[in-house]
Amino acid sequence: MTIKRALICGVSGQDGAYLAQLLLHKGYAVFGTSRDAQTASFRNLELLGIRSHVSCESMALNDFRSVLHVLSKVRPDEIYNLAGQSSVGLSFDQPVETMESIAVGTLNLLEGIRFLGATARLYNAGSSECFGNTGARAADENTPFHPRSPYAVAKAAAHWTVASYRDAYGLYACTGILFNHESPLRPERFVTKKIVAAACRIARGSREKLSLGNIEVIRDWGWAPEYVEAMWRMLQQQTPKEFVIATGESHTLEEFLSTAFQALGLDWRDHVVLDSTIMRQSDLVASYANPSLADKLLDWRANMRMVDIVDLLVNAQMTRSASVS
């Protein structure tokens, strides 16, 4: 039996690490890329205990020659494009880097596959940020995009580039439109990790105050290890197409905040300062999702809900803090 070869661009990130773990479990030969594989720490792979099982290559997605070199060397059956600048807030400070790493990087992968005549299937990581404010209506695969940040604009450009190459050249390429998904591997620049980490420090005796911006924003939060299964399933279909991946349940950030502090026996109102100066430009007010197509065609559905996710995050953070102290 031939072993499938998977190339994960952005293997060092949250999704890349969990996807590598999943594919290894399924018997794949897994290759991952980083801008400089010789100096990258691949900390998330180490935390999952799989670093020695992933072959890592240096690749800069905005450098077409670099992309061609790695595609030619690895000869993957499946490519997962999870790389690129991943922070919405940072994209306002680094719009050019955001556009190049996401939109140009995706274009280079597609053009590389076409140029080499490869039969590799490509999964592209999209984002619910492309929808903008959904209002009370849950977004599905046919909902128009209204991006409101440089990050969302770049993701929208990559989304349509994938669709264009699929139609024009017959490539097997598709985009997963993922709503927010969390795990202990999230860096603290993400507000969910920021909340959980601060709540755990306070529970262990810290007298700090947590500063937050708009806590009335509404999001659909899922569990990252479940979402990478949806990515894999998208590349196993007979025909490539886009899918919304989400729980179908949305909550305010205040609910997330309250749940995290309550899990530690605390009232968030005693420890949080609301600061309007740290609110993000053009922040989305409400984000609702309709993942019914993934349920129907991929036989995929989210099992973890916001309350479950917060409990897992708090427990992981407290365990980690105890092991460090």
User: Phi and psi of 146, rounded to 5°?
Assistant: -145, 70
151 is catalytic: yes
Residue in 12, 91, 101, 127 annotated catalytic = 127
| Tokens describing residue 160 | 């349509």
Which amino acid is residue 236, in one-letter code?
Q
| Tokens describing residue 74 | 């690895």
| 8 Å CB contact between 223 and 249 | no
Residue in 78, 100, 129, 242 annotated catalytic = 129
Output the DSSP codes for 39-65. T---HHHHHTT-GGGEEEEE--TT-HH
Q: Which of 22, 44, 85 is nearest to 231 (CA)?
A: 22
46 is catalytic: no
124 Cβ neighbours under 8 A, 6+ residues apart: 81, 106, 158, 159, 162, 173, 174, 175, 176
Residue in 28, 123, 151, 227 annotated catalytic = 151
Q: Answer positive or negative: Cα dihedral of 88, 304, 80, 237.
A: negative
Q: What is the dihedral of CA 275, 278, 280, 281, to 10 degrees?
A: 100
Query: What residues act catalytically?
Result: 127, 129, 151
